[in-house]
Structure 1
Amino acid sequence: MSPLNNRYSTLDASDSNFDSAIAVDLLPLAQLAMTSDDLANVFLPPGWNKLAIVNCAPQPYQYPGVKGFLASGRVGDDTSTSVVLALGIDWSDWMQYYLNGPIQGTLASPWASAPSGSLISFTYNAMYNAVRHSLWDSLKFLSGMKLRVTGVSLSGPLAQMAALDLRAGNQGPNQQNAPGDVESYAFSTGAIANSTFATYLKSKVPNSYSVVAGTEANKIDFFPLDGSGELDSELGELIELASPLPEFDVPWVERSADFYIKAMDGAPTPPPTQSGTVEQASGFSRQLAFQFANLCAVSYQRFQHPNAQTMNISPYSVGKSITASSVNFATIYTSVDSLTVAFRGACTWQEFADYVSNSQTKTVSIDGTNVSVHSGAANLLYGPSDANGSTTFKERLFKEIEAALGDRTNIYFTGHDLGGAVANLAALDFETYNSLSVTSVYTFGATPTGGPDFNNVMANTFNKSCFQVNRSTDPFAKLSTLLIGYASLNTQVSVTGTPANDCYPYHSIKSYSNLLDPKE
């Protein structure tokens, strides 16, 4: 067993049974459950044998499908074979099927036998109940071996719920007896329950761990931050992994399986590097795109670690950051002749749910023209800048741009992820707001911005000066073609290749920067 050491800490005063060697072996299985499209033919790590597949179908506008597998092998320093149930939810599937924004609470299902007042996410409760029959049916292959359950990011809560469901003395939907003594390892997982349910789960499944990169004093992975409102508690014992900040202090690096494995002294196996291409659209500048990708990275850092050393962004200098709902969401950068505003994407589970997942369209009026746009992006741009709500994010942003512009002649809008959608919407609004003109717009892996009507207005306003830079492997960049009511914006700029240390879901702004680097 690998005991807790100075790389790990727990918020409990008691000794922890968390085993880092087991965690390092479980995380690749959790990642496979999340990323594999064909679990029937999934390639497991050496020494592992697939026993069964677990799945349930998605329910449009409610929740995505759940997928996973039961496999046997050895983990950590175990000398005997055990069984792992790995559960997965793909990021792209979540955004295709869950469109309702903020996560709402509901009473826990009867199988939990939770005390009065126990609340859990309505969406996760529905997903788990949908996959529960398949999950319990797979246990016929358990053959008395020890069971561990694992999940990463979106699927982490399902692993925690499964461990509670499979506790000793409980029964399945067909009166199957639970195996009991189940361990659960969830990585980079958001809060989906209230404190009453969380306390109950910890008492029933003492070896349930919620693993997060970073510590209370030095947060690194911001995705699992405590939620707000009634669902504000993580499930299981909180295990914090101390780790240095990477040069690219950005969420899709810091929440990746490879980052977690390295934080636990493991050896990740990133995909092999492949040289790629950058499409040369008319008016597109690879040099500008590279610079703007790095500015987006710094905008993430201005939220996560505003006092940390900023990476080299010459010829730009860092200006003011503008808040949305009291947290930094955009930063202004200036050079001798240019001003660029760079919008970050979602960092926390709460932001992902409230903004990115709030993806039904809504109608807004821009300069008297009604257009359909992404609800989450619009709510952010036109929502409050701070707690008192007297000034909107848009109003403060435009005021700061005008104050910082001086005699500079170029104005650029750029953004990554949700920030790309906000950059598109803000640029169009700014262009019609006053006599100042936007030189061009560059986005990277942007989530959907608007419908065909919005696309038409953008095309007429930014003829050959709006560039949607997308990796061919980035699932976020493909959502505009998958979600009903949306359209892909012009001009699309395709980027191919696999940079060093790339990581699923191939969405990180670091990877965009590496692929766009003119020196590559």
Structure 2
Amino acid sequence: MGKQQLDIRTALFLAAVCGQTYVQFLNTEGLFIMPRGYSLVGTFKGAAYDQLQEWFGFLMESERAAVLAYRGSGSASDWVSDFMADQVSYPPVKDAGLTHKGFTDIYMSTRDAVLSLVSKLPDNKPLFLTGHSMGGALATLASLDLAVNSSLSSPIVYTFGAPRVGDPRYVRTYNRKIDAHWRFQNEFDIVPHLPTLIYQPPKSTKTYYYMHVKGEVKRSFRMGSISGNHILPNYFADLAREEPAFAAAACTETPGWCPV
């Protein structure tokens, strides 16, 4: 395939895909809008802290590519998982390092379904993974798993406002295995700064170390609040300023497609 280059239009498209993971979550039947030219391979659920099954994303494909999308936090149990920042050994890859327990537990609850869906794709089809916030963390965990344990060994990753996922060893393993990862990060968004580089759980003497994986794409926008600096529609709007005609055409073509 050759070396992948960052593409703002691809980022805009994938940010809109991320928006549909939240639409899926809010719909009891897991319904959401598909972009023109894509068909649904399948959807999947997972479980956060309280073990209740929730919609966590979907896999779709066109003639040219496939997209695996993960949802960010949308429930109280998701938020509890976000704060379970002690670390565990990354289960899918031996000796790959330590990862955030809350995110890892959720990812592992989706893993069998995701691997089953991905196995339906042709081996030579480019696979993009994407997610916003916690969804970006889940996409990062999934990417290394797929790179090592599936026939689609060169995933292309775009995340938005994602937190840190693992320790230095995990990051080194990830950066060596994943060629293309673009991590969009608003400098005024607090979530990408979590967990802290050095994390000590409450009422514990243990210390955990966190790093970001490679590929930071620095963005800069202030929206007047912590949530405003983080929410997906504002990442989309920021990117749309670079490609206004493309963004307008995409949003007009399929009403409800763009995150607003």
Structure 1 counterpart of 2:119: 402
Letter in 2 for 1:495: R
Identify the match of residue 153 of structure 2 among 427, 437, 457: 437
* Residues in 2 aligned to 1:288 and 1:514: alpha-carbon distance in whole angstroms: 14
Deviation for aligned residue 1:370: 3.8
Identify the match of residue 289 of structure 1 among 11, 19, 36: 11
Deviation for aligned residue 1:519: 2.5
* Residues in 2 aligned to 1:515 and 1:444: alpha-carbon distance in whole angstroms: 12
CA contact (8 A) 1:480 1:488 kept: no
Identify the match of residue 367 of structure 1 among 59, 74, 93: 93
Structure-2 change in CA distance of 1:315 and 1:289 (3 Å): farther
* Residues in 1 aligned to 2:198 and 2:15: alpha-carbon distance in whole angstroms: 26
Structure-2 change in CA distance of 1:514 and 1:429 (3 Å): same
Structure with higher Rg: it is 1
* Residues in 2 aligned to 1:336 and 1:503: alpha-carbon distance in whole angstroms: 41
* Residues in 2 aligned to 1:317 and 1:519: alpha-carbon distance in whole angstroms: 25
TM-score, scaled to structure 2: 0.79
* Residues in 2 aligned to 1:480 and 1:308: alpha-carbon distance in whole angstroms: 30
* Residues in 2 aligned to 1:399 and 1:429: alpha-carbon distance in whole angstroms: 13
Structure-2 change in CA distance of 1:481 and 1:287 (3 Å): farther
Identify the match of residue 356 of structure 1 among 82, 89, 109: 82
1:369 match: secondary structure: coil
CA contact (8 A) 1:293 1:513 kept: yes
Deviation for aligned residue 1:466: 0.9
* Residues in 2 aligned to 1:413 and 1:312: alpha-carbon distance in whole angstroms: 16
Listed as ranges, the matches of 1:269-348 within 5 Å are 283-305=5-27, 310=32, 313-325=35-47, 326-348=53-75
* Residues in 2 aligned to 1:313 and 1:370: alpha-carbon distance in whole angstroms: 36
Identify the match of residue 422 of structure 1 among 125, 132, 138: 138
Structure 1 counterpart of 2:191: 476
Matched, 1:510 2:237: no
Structure 2 counterpart of 1:495: 219
The Cα offsets for residues 204-223 of structure 1, whole Å up to 9 and x where unpaired, read as xxxxxxxxxxxxxxxxxxxx
1:367 match: secondary structure: coil
CA contact (8 A) 1:417 1:444 kept: yes
Unaligned 5+ residue runs, structure 1? 1-281, 384-392
TM-score, scaled to structure 1: 0.41
The CA RMSD over aligned residues, in Å, is: 2.3
The Cα offsets for residues 146-195 of structure 1, whole Å up to 9 and x where unpaired, read as xxxxxxxxxxxxxxxxxxxxxxxxxxxxxxxxxxxxxxxxxxxxxxxxxx
* Residues in 2 aligned to 1:382 and 1:373: alpha-carbon distance in whole angstroms: 12
Deviation for aligned residue 1:376: 0.6
Deviation for aligned residue 1:371: 0.9
* Residues in 2 aligned to 1:426 and 1:343: alpha-carbon distance in whole angstroms: 10
CA contact (8 A) 1:290 1:513 kept: yes
* Residues in 2 aligned to 1:311 and 1:510: alpha-carbon distance in whole angstroms: 16
* Residues in 2 aligned to 1:290 and 1:400: alpha-carbon distance in whole angstroms: 24
Matched, 1:453 2:169: yes
Q: Figure out how many residues of one structure are paired with residues of the other and give that number.
A: 225
Deviation for aligned residue 1:334: 1.4
2:162 match: secondary structure: coil
* Residues in 2 aligned to 1:299 and 1:417: alpha-carbon distance in whole angstroms: 12
- Larger relative contact order (C-alpha < 8 A, sep ≥ 6)? 2
* Residues in 2 aligned to 1:398 and 1:347: alpha-carbon distance in whole angstroms: 23
Letter in 1 for 2:190: P
Deviation for aligned residue 1:314: 3.9
* Residues in 2 aligned to 1:435 and 1:401: alpha-carbon distance in whole angstroms: 9
* Residues in 2 aligned to 1:400 and 1:289: alpha-carbon distance in whole angstroms: 23
Deviation for aligned residue 1:409: 1.4
Larger deviation, residues 483-492 vs 312-321:
312-321
Identify the match of residue 102 of structure 2 among 351, 360, 376: 376
CA contact (8 A) 1:411 1:437 kept: no
* Residues in 1 aligned to 2:171 and 2:96: alpha-carbon distance in whole angstroms: 12
CA contact (8 A) 1:382 1:394 kept: yes
Deviation for aligned residue 1:283: 2.1
Structure 2 counterpart of 1:19: none
The Cα offsets for residues 195-254 of structure 1, whole Å up to 9 and x where unpaired, read as xxxxxxxxxxxxxxxxxxxxxxxxxxxxxxxxxxxxxxxxxxxxxxxxxxxxxxxxxxxx
Deviation for aligned residue 1:498: 4.8
Deviation for aligned residue 1:317: 4.0
Deviation for aligned residue 1:503: 5.3
CA contact (8 A) 1:337 1:408 kept: no
Structure-2 change in CA distance of 1:476 and 1:460 (3 Å): same
1:468 match: secondary structure: strand
Deviation for aligned residue 1:495: 1.2
Identity over aligned pairs, percent: 21
CA contact (8 A) 1:334 1:340 kept: yes
